[in-house]
Structure 1
Amino acid sequence: IVYNSIDEALAGACDLVEVTIFNDGRVAVSDNGRGIPVEVHPVTSTSALEAVMTILHAGAKFGGRGYAVSGGLHGVGASVVNALSSELQVEVKRDGKCYRQEYRRGIPQNAVEEVGEASDTGTTTTFLADQEIFGNLNYDFDALSQRFREMCYLTKGLELHFEDKKSDREVTFYFEGGIASFARYLNKNRPVLHTPIFISKTVNGTEVEVALQYNEGFAETTFSFANCINTQDGGSHLTGFRAAITRVINDSARNLKLIKEDEANLI
């Protein structure tokens, strides 16, 4: 659900996301994006909102809002959460109106209803995880906070407020510097050699951002992401980065006469 809001932020249509865990176990995710479309979709003959919430691989693109960059889960996020929730309610503010639809274990309980007027836009999804599946589910505040922190580093200019009313804890993340701020955060307790180096480029429709900062230590800390998903096992993007930085450092060292042409590489 949060990834849907992140997609809106990556598209420049949202700058605030709020996640709240209530005492009864309900979770609400709210954003100030454009709001999920509610018009009848010609393929399903149902509301685009209902299609997003009940059909696998529908996602926001199903509503005609394809994203150039997506941090989502390939259209299975919202529909799976809905199917695994004993109760779920979606409220959409869009085109000056407020709309609502409720579900039980993924089954719509009513058609999308217009319930009032709205002066702003956005989507709020409130769900209760099915206890018959998950038992008494306790959300890990620290683990979720870490993930939300990463999301905000990867989505420059996004503010995310997270509150757990059960544990009486809350935190707000906002990083104007994006992943350059992430590099500073990782080095906050280490002597650094320079300010973060930040590189951003788009090649053949693929957007790449890199931030790096050397410190005085010998241990390496590397994080890599693809579409805002933490790729803990690396991948071709990380392999390519390592190869590129190795080549650049060795070539620069030779150009600056720090090593001779016939000497071994620095790294």
Structure 2
Amino acid sequence: MEKARVRRCPFLNRGLRISLTDERPADEARMVLFRFPEGVRDFVATLDAETGSAIDPDVIGFVREDPKMAGTMEVALLWSGSREERIRGFVNSRATPQGGTHVDGFRDGVAAAVTGYAREKGLPVADPDSCADRLGEGLTAVVSVKLDHPEFLGATRGLLGNPYVRECVGEAVRERLGTWFADHPERAAEVVDRMTDIHERVMTA
């Protein structure tokens, strides 16, 4: 198992400790310990640090069990000064590079929270469908679900197909992010302004 995958497992399974020891001939054995108490929140902060962002990360995260999708979700996200999108999906600790219903639900939930807050405050923003296509700019996120019966599409198992997962993740993200916006109005306004700025740049391009 490669080092990157070993390091990823404690991110996706909070409380897990993994140590690697290099016992090849050298002056002394070298050991590396991987343990991330905040789970995917630590994962998102680490991904954001790799972009070289100078902004202190304000990571939004939550864990929720949902019997409707027969599993649990752990989601974390932040917006930074970067224009790069870094959204990563995982199912039962396995990467899903093609995304799937868990990532689609995450996008739905973020778009709904952003547009809902904007309308409540009378701020300009595009409709949710258009917003969902553009919200990734500067967004770093990890969407990890653990399911009793995951259904994958395609031979590579890189695309999740469980239909209820999209609805469950979308609703949970909308609720949690909506609460965060209400508690952090200045940051919420910054996110809405970002969406408006992106819309204007797309329209004038």
Q: What TM-score do you get using the length of structure 2 for normalisation?
A: 0.54
Instruction: State how far apart, in whole Å, the 2-side matches of 1:162 and 1:261 are.
Output: 48
Deviation at 1:199, TM superposition (A): 1.7
Identity %: 26
Change (3 A) 1:214 1:260: closer
Which residue is equivalent to 2:203?
none
Task: Give yes or no for the alignment of 1:237 onto 2:98.
Answer: no
Which residue is equivalent to 1:197?
60
Q: Which structure would you say has the larger Rg?
A: 1
Return 5+ residue gaps in structure 2 as ranges. Answer: 132-194, 200-205
Check the 8 A contact 2:59/2:78 in 1, yes or no: yes
Q: Deviations over 1:26-49 (max 9, x none)?
A: xxxxxxxxxxxxxxxxxxxxxxxx
Instruction: State how far apart, in whole Å, the 2-side matches of 1:153 and 1:260 are.
Output: 34
Instruction: State how far apart, in whole Å, the 2-side matches of 1:261 and 1:233 are.
Output: 26
Change (3 A) 1:230 1:260: closer
Deviation at 1:167, TM superposition (A): 7.2
Task: Give yes or no for the alignment of 1:222 onto 2:87.
Answer: yes
Matched residue SS, 1:224: strand
Which residue is equivalent to 1:180?
41
Change (3 A) 1:155 1:261: closer
| Most deviating of 178-187 and 190-199 | 190-199
Instruction: State how far apart, in whole Å, the 2-side matches of 1:202 and 1:256 are.
Output: 31
Give the 4+ runs in structure 1 shifted more than 4 A. none
Paired letter, 2:65? T
Change (3 A) 1:260 1:242: closer
| Paired residue total | 124
Matched residue SS, 2:10: helix
Return 5+ residue gaps in structure 1 as ranges. Answer: 1-142
Task: Give yes or no for the alignment of 1:162 onto 2:15.
Answer: no
Q: Deviations over 1:89-115 (max 9, x none)?
A: xxxxxxxxxxxxxxxxxxxxxxxxxxx
Deviation at 1:241, TM superposition (A): 0.9
Paired letter, 1:155? N
Check the 8 A contact 1:196/1:211 in 2, yes or no: yes
**Aligned alpha-carbon RMSD (Å):** 2.4
Q: Deviations over 1:55-94 (max 9, x none)?
A: xxxxxxxxxxxxxxxxxxxxxxxxxxxxxxxxxxxxxxxx
* Higher RCO, 1 vs 2 (CA within 8 Å, ≥6 residues apart): 2
Deviation at 1:170, TM superposition (A): 3.5
Instruction: State how far apart, in whole Å, the 1-side matches of 2:88 and 2:31 are.
Output: 25
Instruction: State how far apart, in whole Å, the 2-side matches of 1:203 and 1:190 are.
Output: 34
Which residue is equivalent to 1:153?
11
Instruction: State how far apart, in whole Å, the 2-side matches of 1:261 and 1:198 are.
Output: 25
Check the 8 A contact 1:153/1:181 in 2, yes or no: yes
Check the 8 A contact 2:12/2:40 in 1, yes or no: yes
Q: What TM-score do you get using the length of structure 1 for normalisation?
A: 0.42
Check the 8 A contact 1:193/1:213 in 2, yes or no: no
Equivalent residue in structure 2 for 1:258, among 116, 123, 135: 123
